Chains A and B, each alone.
Chain A
Amino acid sequence: MTLAIVQSGVSRRAALGVMGVGALAWSAWPRRSRELAGVPRGRKVLHYWEKWTGAEGLALQGVIDAFNQSQEKLWVIRVPISDISSKAMVAVGGGDGPDVCGLFSYSVPLYAEAGAAMPLDSFPQEDWCGEAGYLPNVWKLLTHEGRPWAGVNTCYTLGLYVNRTHMREAGLGGTDADVPPRTIGELDAAAEKLTRMDSSGAIARAGFLPNLPLWWPYSWGVLFDGRLYDRATNTAMADDPGNIRAMEWIATFPKRFGREAAGAFAQTFSRSTHSPQDPFISGRASMIVQGPWLANFIRLHNPSLDYAVAPVPLADGLAEPSLPRGLVEADVIIIPSGCKDPEASWEFVRFMQRRTTQEQLALAHCKSSPMAEVSAEFAGAHPSRYVGVFDAIARSPRSDSLPPTRVWPQYADMLGGAFDTVWRGGDPASALRDVQVRAQRLIDQATELRGRRRAGNGRGDA
């Protein structure tokens, strides 16, 4: 071919040049990207970053499809993003964020203080339920210093899942195995009775272990009337007496069941949560603290499992059946500052905040509704017969929500470290006192720097 080019009088350099220009022209030629292939002409496209994939992502896609069909101006494209907190922080901070972004409720204080999200009360308020539409514990998660910065995208609390077959076999719950433990004392006694050790000293079946899974190491204090944070004084409360009592209770597990045996049992299942090998789904754990979504995975992997769900037991003397207690957390949806068309983003967020939309999503995710009012159809159609348990915790005035401070991710990790220390035999009070000092230092530092930033912006309160 080279010979042919030379013979025809075209130099190699000229041929390469033509090819180069051709390649450049081809790459620069305007064309419709593949993601826009299904977008009807004339629609403004919004990119919505969300963390959910699999069945949860499909459920969200159903809601997005409903929005896209409901009007003719906008078209929302869902972009599934893993490790969304980190990536959103980089993208939004760099001025190249999405039009709408799904985050976790703990991100709200940071985004609000940094002005990285747009306050929802700065948009037209028609067709938005506002505070009255949400559960009070959920509304607290969406607001920061009195202003709403995010919409909700389902909420959750934790419940105690109990294997009824195991309960019956162990003679627990009296004649009715639907009566799970209500107090920490009852939980301890049941755990003792339900645990089976094998001949080598390993745990063959766990009655109950608080490190299974170790996802919410900060959540135990609330069961002992402990608080994590004082909103009024902006103070960490890691060493609150209730939290110390909770850690003292945690410390009893490695003593009762063997530190190594209990640690190895939890480690065995560290990668199988929600799979057919999940400790509760596979019957290797009789009781487990988990979110409402576990019912979805039970239906999928072991539909014949005979189980019940109850509020996580409280310390003796605190239990009031009509007023359960727990921590409420939520997934949220924000409009990043600097997005290309905030009004269009708001239209979608407002759609997502409709009661019907949240119910549709909560049904698919097997969660309770984050909204104050719930339709009769929602309860009737819900795939989990125990959704009422989670709903009651989320509604309860005795429940709390995560601390509204931007340092919460680090504070939570410190509490996780304290859990590890106590599990290894460390002193609960000193472990939590250490967390208290370090967390408060972070909070004070963040407050001081915020003052300096405000002063620099001329909004001075420093």
Chain B
Amino acid sequence: MSTARRRAIVPWLWVAPWLLGFVLFMLIPSMMSLYYSFTDYSLLEPPVGIGLANFAELWRDPLFWKVIRNTLAYASVSVLVGTVLALLVAVLLESHVKGRGAGGVARAIIFLPTLVPLVAAALAWAFMYNPEAGLFNRVLGVMGLPRINWLGDARWAMPSLIIMGFWNIGTAMVVYSAALRDVPRSLYEAADLDGVSRLGRLWHVSIPAISPAILFNVMISIIWSLQVFGAPQIMTEGGPDHSTYVYQLYIYESAFRYGRMGYASAMAWIQLLATLGIAGLTLALSRRLVYYRGAV
């Protein structure tokens, strides 16, 4: 075999395992799900073509709009607050915790919850939210405040899930910490010479300098939060009164509980397009806000 030919083939051989996995487990199932979205398919019997009926039914389905509202509420609050919180913690750790040892321990402690399996974390949080015996209501009781039915009250259930989500800010915090360490000292020195305050340094130097890391985390958070599933399923099963019924949960129940794989596929494709749209919009907005050091 000639060297040129070998050079052309070898890269494909190296990526072949991934490519094979992608085609078999992503591309083909995705295309099948696109086909199923135009059918009635229970998994147990052959699909029957019904054109756009699934999409038309979704349009009329009040639960569909409810899960969209719930998911958007969850995503917008958790992305916004989670980003600010992770950034704040990273800034505090980088500027106030002196010494590698102490900083490392603090970062490890904040990162640790991300290693706890979701089911275990959800059960622990459900217990902490228990109206009678839970930690939060005990604290409220000590402070003389009334108890809250965290997961059983439709007004509080979604905020409770969002608060629980902040348990996992460790990953974003680590990325921000690394990015903050990478900010050139010369920029801070220049700011100091110009008499910029500490807050000014953060706003005018640190945040622009780490904006690519912020964009990365925001993008990942948006994608993950739009796919939230485990915590609502384990802690509330979508209740009470569908107040925590999120998009993925409805897809799952439609497919595997109600035997409506076609309907679930239609929902999944709408979600994919919506997520692509939101991600595209975020990228477009980021062009004006994100600063790349190497960019001309």
Contacts and interface: CB of A to CB of B under 8 A. Distances in A.
Contacts of A93: 42-44
Contacts of B153: 260, 263-264
Interface in A235-266: 260, 263-266
A90 B264 CA distance: 14
Given A420-B240, A421-B241, A267 B44 contact: no
Contacts of B240: 263, 420
Contact of A116 (B44, B48, B154, B257): B44
A86 to B, nearest CB: 4
A90 B258 contact: no
Nearest to B131: A264
Interface string B130-144: 111100000000000
Nearest to A265: B131
Interface string A106-121: 0000110111100000
B149 A263 contact: yes
B101 interface: no
B242 interface: yes
Interface stretch (A166-174, A181-189, A312-320, A449-457): A449-457
B241 A420 contact: yes
Give the interface size class of chain B: 20 to 34
Contacts of B40: 445, 449
A268 interface: yes
Contacts of A265: 131
Given A263-B149, A267-B152, A409-B258, A449 B50 contact: yes
A61 interface: no
Interface string A252-294: 0000000010011111101100000000000000000000000
B45 interface: yes
A89 interface: yes
A266 B239 CA distance: 13
Nearest to B126: A271
A423 B149 CA distance: 15
B46 interface: yes
Given A114-B45, A264-B131, A264-B152, A200 B258 contact: no
Interface in A384-425: 406-407, 409-410, 413, 417, 420-421, 423-424
A32 to B, nearest CB: 30
Interface in B112-167: 123, 126-127, 130-133, 146-147, 149, 151-154
A94 B146 CA distance: 53
B149 A110 contact: no
B256 interface: yes
Contacts of B43: 89-90, 93-94
Contacts of A89: 42-44, 256, 259
Contacts of B44: 89, 92-93, 110-111, 114-116
A200 B147 contact: yes
Given A200-B147, A264-B149, A452-B48, A410 B242 contact: no
B89 to A, nearest CB: 31
Contacts of B131: 264-265, 267-268
27 contacts: A89-B43, A89-B44, A90-B256, A92-B44, A94-B43, A110-B44, A114-B45, A202-B132, A202-B147, A263-B153, A264-B153, A267-B131, A267-B152, A268-B133, A271-B130, A406-B42, A406-B259, A409-B257, A409-B259, A413-B253, A417-B242, A420-B239, A421-B241, A445-B40, A452-B48, A453-B46, A453-B48
Given A263-B153, A409-B257, A453-B45, 11 more contacts: A93-B42, A93-B44, A94-B43, A113-B45, A116-B45, A264-B147, A271-B127, A417-B241, A417-B242, A445-B40, A449-B50
Interface of B: 40, 42-46, 48, 50, 123, 126-127, 130-133, 146-147, 149, 151-154, 239-242, 253, 256-260
